[in-house]
Structure 1
Amino acid sequence: MTILVFFIAHWYLSLLMQTFFLHRYAAHKMFTMSPAWEKFFYTATWIFQGSSFLSPYAYGVMHRLHHAYADTELDPHSPSFSDSIADMMWKTKNYYNNIVRQTDQIDAKFKKGVPHWDLMEKIGDSWISRIGWGTLYVLFYIQFATFWWMFLLLPIHFLMGPVHGVIINWYAHRYGYVNFKVDDTAKNLLPFDFLMMGESYHNNHHKFGGRANFGIKWHEFDPTYPFILVLNKLKIIKLKKNNDLLYM
């Protein structure tokens, strides 16, 4: 029971940082926050993503490219130009590493305003950090695992961020339903997103890229949006005014 609670907590806390901080803030700037709170959420991302820490800077730049060039050869992660999930993720890794190492040739307009905390970027991307977090996961499992099959969950812990990315970048461009006609293959993967905290409403997001609430239809509940509203109410963030509720 302890292992399953730990796995579920890691899944959703890691995903929360990805959808709230990396996606809706770093890439889209749907809301603003002070430099101090930005560093707080940078640190929270490192803690909750752990060994699979994703650079908010690299993620933000890469995701902007995805929207600008969705399902073309310039898209950093398109199933339409990849032979398999492994092929797509390998290409994504190369894009990501070039941005992190600042060896890319990406137009400066895609980098404007994307948060960058050099210290945490270096810590989170270091092998010492990644192996350290991975070691902690293994030790936790040794202490609390009660069945051998529980250890099969460890690879997901090690690669939690990329696993979340694959679910949306591959499957939400191949399967699901469409609310809006867009110029790419983005689909809504789930009618009720209990799994990806709103990220699976991918077709909605590609239609309204700056809208903080990813749900549109009455049944499309976005679990991250109430979290955003609470932080806005507490004045931790400031939600932009173009985020009115819209339902179909």
Structure 2
Amino acid sequence: MPALITPLGFQVAFWSASPALASVRVCNGTLLEIQVLESVTTSSDRFRFSLGLLAEAPSKAAAMALLNQRLDRARQELGPFVLDALSIPAPRSYSYGSGSSSSPKLERATTRIGGEVSRDNYDALIQLAGRLPGVRLQGMTSLASSSGGAALDDQLLKRALNKGRRRANDTASALGLGRVDLLRINQRSGVVRPVAYAEARMSKPAFRSDEAPKPQRSLTLGLDYCLR
């Protein structure tokens, strides 16, 4: 029965091979399971923005009417900057205030406006959001460029396989074993992670798209090696 080891200091993960795979490759030695994570920073050519929209009035009807007016204006002025259709969920309203002279009871209506903007319009959209009544910039997220994705995936895969092979060779050498066979590759994930731009950093008088954090593309491989 083959031994199963987890080398000290390695990032390892355990999983059971499917019956089909297990029947094809059997390890008559020491089974080593390694999990390798590789990531790379990618270029960004567009950004996802999120704007909060708010209106207040003495009644719910008045608050909703004011919100719709502000929403119509926001749609018109944001239109030339956005790359695609805006995303606007249904508005909601709620009451606040005690009703006293110092804290009158008011109705507040809110919604959000989401969309994507190009790098060239990054600063203009942020400046516009600061001028629109009732609008508050809630976040800006850098998105990965659509170009070069396949090449980056190939680069990550090669790096992950090379790292796994080095770890397996080092472990075999430490155990006094001379043969390392790769039994299985399990691609656990391959994702592009967008990066949010902190609101505190958007309080500057000028906004430069090249200062926004770059998104990351990552790949996780589960590798099974047989050491003999």
Q: TM-score range by the shorter chain?
A: under 0.3
TM-score, normalised with respect to structure 1: 0.24
Using the size of structure 2 for normalisation, the TM-score is: 0.25
* Larger RCO (CA within 8 A; separation ≥ 6): 2
